[in-house]
């Protein structure tokens, strides 16, 4: 029972770090997926005196991924009832070209402004509509969400680090006596620290497998998948290979640093 309690204290501290880290990854992925979703729905309208090709638009600003000419037919149709067909053709020739510009990713407000300026620098482009007000609101909301999650992760990290340092002091006290006794009989440093490293690696593996299990379960939990689908995004909640490697790597690194600090801080008593 005592041994389980000894393991639990570090396992719980590691679990909270791994959980906050994975939640941060999920939020990052969700925001990225949502940005892609937004970029697909967001476009800029440019009005030009003459025809501009896709490549010319891309040269103006590399954020532009595609351009599509908007047909003036729908506007002309509304006017056509009172006009002769020859006049309609004439009107078509005099009307400027309207382009819908698709972007490679969801830009920041600064990038939108820069894109607008770049487009207007071109002599043939006379007007640009970037819907910046709507864009700014959505972008700021995203930014706020991301900052709140980052702040939450930092708070969890700080609290957990404090927890781990408290744990470190308990471990130092607990292991110092054994390490000193082993030293009295001539045990080399690696042998004196072996138990400590073995314990910390076992705890790291327990914490890793627990969090891998929980996130693997959550990634297939219908309610969670549904929540992301409802906002039109498809997020990888848990990547079995990459995320597992990161979780195991982080947990083992923290444990080894903890054990090394104890070994370095060990003062031999006699």
Partner 1 sequence: MDKVIIAKDLSLAYSNNETIINKANFSINSADFVFITGASGSGKSTLLKSLFGGLKLKQGSLVVGGVELGNISRSRLNFLRRHIGIVFQDYKLVKEWNIDKNIMLPLLINGYVKSVAQNQVDKLLKHVRLNHQTGKYPLELSGGEQQRVAMARALAHNPILILADEPTGNLDEYSSGLIWNLLEGANEQLKTTVIVVTHNIPKTLNVNYKHFHIEYGSIHEVC
Residue among 90 and 191 whose Cβ is closer to partner 1 = 191
Residue among 2 and 84 whose Cβ is closer to partner 1 = 2
Whose CA is closest to 175, among 198, 151, 145? Answer: 198
Residue among 13 and 179 whose Cβ is closer to partner 1 = 179
CB of 197 to partner 1, least distance (A): 16
Residue among 190 and 223 whose Cβ is closer to partner 1 = 190
Residue among 161 and 189 whose Cβ is closer to partner 1 = 189
Q: Which secondary-structure segment (H or E) carries 43?
A: strand 43-48
CB of 166 to partner 1, least distance (A): 20
CB of 170 to partner 1, least distance (A): 14
- Both tokens of 152, joined, read 């939450």
Strand 64-70: give its sheet, edge to edge.
64-70, 97-103, 43-48, 125-129
CB of 173 to partner 1, least distance (A): 12
Residue among 186 and 222 whose Cβ is closer to partner 1 = 186
DSSP string, 63-131: TEEEEEEEPTHHHHHHHHTTS-HHHHHHHHHHSPEEEEEEESS---HHHHHHHHHHHHHSTTEEEEE--
Query: Interface residues with partner 1 (CB under 8 A)?
Result: 177-178, 180-189, 191, 268, 270
CB of 259 to partner 1, least distance (A): 17
φ and ψ of 98, to 5 deg: -105, 130
SS3 44: strand
CB of 176 to partner 1, least distance (A): 12
- Both tokens of 18, joined, read 């791994």
SS3 199: helix
């Amino acid at each position: 029972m005592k041994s389980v309690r000894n393991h639990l204290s570090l396992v719980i501290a590691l679990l909270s770090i791994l959980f906050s880290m994975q939640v941060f990854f999920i939020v990052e992925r969700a925001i990225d997926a949502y940005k892609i979703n937004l970029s697909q729905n967001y476009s800029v309208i440019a009005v030009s005196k003459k025809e501009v090709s896709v490549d010319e638009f891309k040269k103006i600003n590399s954020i532009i991924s595609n351009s599509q000419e908007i047909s003036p037919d729908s506007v002309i149709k509304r006017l056509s009832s009172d006009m002769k067909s020859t006049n309609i053709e004439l009107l078509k020739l005099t009307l400027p070209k309207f382009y819908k510009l698709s972007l490679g990713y969801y830009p920041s407000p600064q990038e939108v402004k820069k894109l607008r300026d770049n487009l207007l620098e071109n002599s043939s482009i006379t007007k640009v509509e970037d819907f910046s007000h709507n864009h700014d609101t959505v972008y700021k909301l995203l930014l706020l969400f991301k900052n709140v999650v980052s702040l939450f992760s930092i708070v969890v990290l700080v609290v957990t680090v404090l927890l781990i340092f408290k744990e470190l002091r308990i471990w130092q006290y607990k292991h110092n006596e054994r390490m000193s006794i082993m030293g009295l009989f001539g045990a080399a440093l690696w042998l004196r620290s072996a138990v400590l490293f073995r314990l910390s690696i076992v705890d790291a593996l327990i914490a890793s497998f627990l969090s891998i299990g929980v996130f693997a379960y959550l990634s297939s939990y219908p309610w969670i998948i549904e929540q992301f689908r409802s906002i039109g995004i498809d997020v990888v909640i848990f990547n079995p290979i990459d995320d597992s490697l990161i979780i195991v790597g982080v947990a083992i690194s923290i444990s080894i640093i903890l054990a090394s600090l104890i070994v370095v801080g060990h003062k031999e008593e006699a």
